[in-house]
Structure 1
Amino acid sequence: MPFNITFIMFVQIYICGGYTGEEFLFTAEVYNKDTDQWSMIAPMLSRRSGVGVIAYGDLVYAVGGSDGVTRLHSAEAYNPANNSWTEIASMFSPRTNFGIEVLEDLLYVTGGFNGFRTTFEAEYYDRKTNEWYGVHNMNIHRSALDCCILPGLPNIRDYAASRDTFYREGVRRALSDSSL
């Protein structure tokens, strides 16, 4: 069964890279809802599985992943207008299976697996400068995560419990459910 990363851009869904169970892929496809058709688009510059894919501006970005040999810190951008991929600046840290999101016109990546361990590192990309910048690390090492933007919340920290709160509540629940 193939594993693919998808992202919806306007009325189209982009599928980039993935893994067939035997091969790490650099192929990409687009689904057009209006025509109910899948079409191959230009292949990515690198094979990528566990890649982060997101629309940012008028491009589709494929970030990180694994080529089957190593975790990647490279990234590339697809331009639907001319059906081509362009290499962009590389992240500081190689990673697969990480969160990716755009906030206030900056592309953020969070967590993931760097080939040796799950990471709590985060960084962001600014398309205006074609550079990556460091972000304060998360509190918990995370891999195989997703993230999302909640519009209208002035400060997410006001709505999220701390790691220690989750731990304490988990211990309380475990003790109360115990047959001891």
Structure 2
Amino acid sequence: MTKLILLTASVCYVSVINTLLINAIPINNSSDEKLIYLCGGESDGSDQSYCYHYSALSREWHTIPDMSTYRANFGLVSLNNKLYAISGTTNWWKRDTVEVYDPITDSWHQLSNVIFTRGSFGTAVLNNAIYVCGGKNGEEYFVCESYIPEANKWTASTPLTVRRSGLGLVALGNHLYAIGGNGLNSMERFDSQSKQWTPMAANMSAKTRSWFGSAVFMDKIYVCGGHDGSDSKSCESYDPITNKWTSIASMLSKRIDFQLVALDNFLYALGGFMDHENTNTVEVYDYKLNQWQYTQSLPHNCSAFAV
């Protein structure tokens, strides 16, 4: 059964300071192959609509049909074997459109628009629903909304307790975790039963962290890089059982607006904005060795994309 892993939201875009956003999510297909999907983002000075997938078996990138819209700073998630590209920006104009890619028909189709137009938000899947939280459109948002594919309808959800943009949003167990954001190092947790957000006691060790990479890996939450007053390469993991953050080995390069993806017992840091320009470099983390090393690059220099 093929697993689609979306590199969090465009060909190279991550919700980090105006660059490509990547979203990574698993999608099941007809084989046991695992695929990383990368779409949109910013490359060569303009927003993009192209998409690729990466085969962990062949270690090659292959094109799939372009999205219908140029997107950066958007959301990209997989649910029920399909890939959803959500909102974001085109040349700094915020978009409210949503489209879905079906790997069986190899095509994109338009869906109902989001309620709140925004960019630099967090996107995650919890209990067969897509959640979008935070972000900004002129002002920073704390609003959340959720989408049920069967109804093709967006519904307002319980808002965050703090306005957050450039945040990380991940699902672990029966909870959503909203992490960091512009000028923040705090975290809050959404309970799928009570439908309430609760500020968590634990703060990240970084003084602030925004436009960073986040992923669930080995039953913990990992965050890397981003902006903490300056560009960062530091990494840390959060254990929901102990409610504690622990520093791990730093990445080899400082990155913002990149994607962090878990695949086959490794973490991958893809692309982003580095040394004042977009990059196509990729590094991989071996948790057994607590060590990063460079690996095969992306097809393009990009940031603010999704995987």
- Would you call these one fold, judging by a TM-score over 0.5? yes
Q: Please list every run of at least 4 consecutive aligned residues from structure 1 whose deviation after the TM superposition is greater than 2 angstroms.
A: none
Q: Does residue 111 of the first structure (1) align with residue 274 of the second (2)? A: no
Larger Cα Rg: Structure 1 or Structure 2? 1
1:82 Cα deviation from its structure 2 partner: 0.9
Pick one of 94, 106, 115 that aligns with 2:254: 94
Q: Distance in 1 between matches of 2:305 and 2:251?
A: 18
**1:29 corresponds to which residue?**
188
Alignment of 1:128-147 (within 5 A): 128-147=288-307
Q: Distance in 1 between matches of 2:188 and 2:284?
A: 26
Tell me which amino acid in the other structure corresponds to 2:209: R
Pick one of 156, 172, 175 that aligns with 1:12: 175
Query: Which consecutive unaligned segments of at least 5 residues does structure 2 have?
Result: 1-139, 141-163
Identity of aligned residues (%): 33
Normalising by structure 1, what TM-score? 0.76
1:115 Cα deviation from its structure 2 partner: 4.2
Alpha carbons 1:100, 1:146 under 8 Å: kept: no
Normalising by structure 2, what TM-score? 0.45
Normalized per residue, the structure richer in strand is 2
Alignment of 1:48-59 (within 5 A): 48-59=209-220
Query: Which consecutive unaligned segments of at least 5 residues does structure 1 have?
Result: 148-180
| SS, match of residue 181 in structure 2 | strand
Q: Distance in 2 between matches of 1:86 and 1:118?
A: 29
Alpha carbons 1:97, 1:144 under 8 Å: kept: yes
Q: Distance in 2 between matches of 1:52 and 1:15?
A: 13
1:83 Cα deviation from its structure 2 partner: 0.7
Tell me which amino acid in the other structure corresponds to 2:234: S
Normalized per residue, the structure richer in helix is 1
* CA RMSD between the two structures: 1.1
**2:236 corresponds to which residue?**
76
